[in-house]
Homo-oligomer: A and B are copies of this chain.
Amino acid sequence: MSPTFRFAVNVTPKAGILDPQGRAVEQSLSHLGVGGVSAIRVGRRVELTVEASDAAAARSVVERLAGELLSNPLIEAFGIEQLGAASSLVGEAAR
């Protein structure tokens, strides 16, 4: 069995793209009495486990998924993080 690697893909709206969820969070802040918070952007975070021969091969699978399935390249940017064994889903990642 090949080793498994756990990654996170962070998808965020590109600068200049309207972000209604971010605006909604900003409007909620006054109800909580919180000031000094700005530039809120709301995106998605997808965590996944990839079985591959090595970390580089696993990352290339994640890059393809991030660009083709998990983000809309017209309006969103993505970043990829490799997670350690301390992932919140260690049990599932090891299955």
Contacts and interface: CB of A to CB of B under 8 A. Distances in A.
A36 B29 CA distance: 42
Contacts of A52: 36
Interface centre among A6, A48, A69, A70 (most CB of B within 10 A): A48
A25 B29 CA distance: 32
B49 A37 contact: yes
How many chain copies?
2
Given A36-B2, A38-B48, A68-B32, A88 B77 contact: yes
A89 B41 contact: yes
B41 A46 contact: yes
A51 B36 CA distance: 5
A75 B38 CA distance: 27
Contacts of A48: 25, 37-41
A23 interface: no
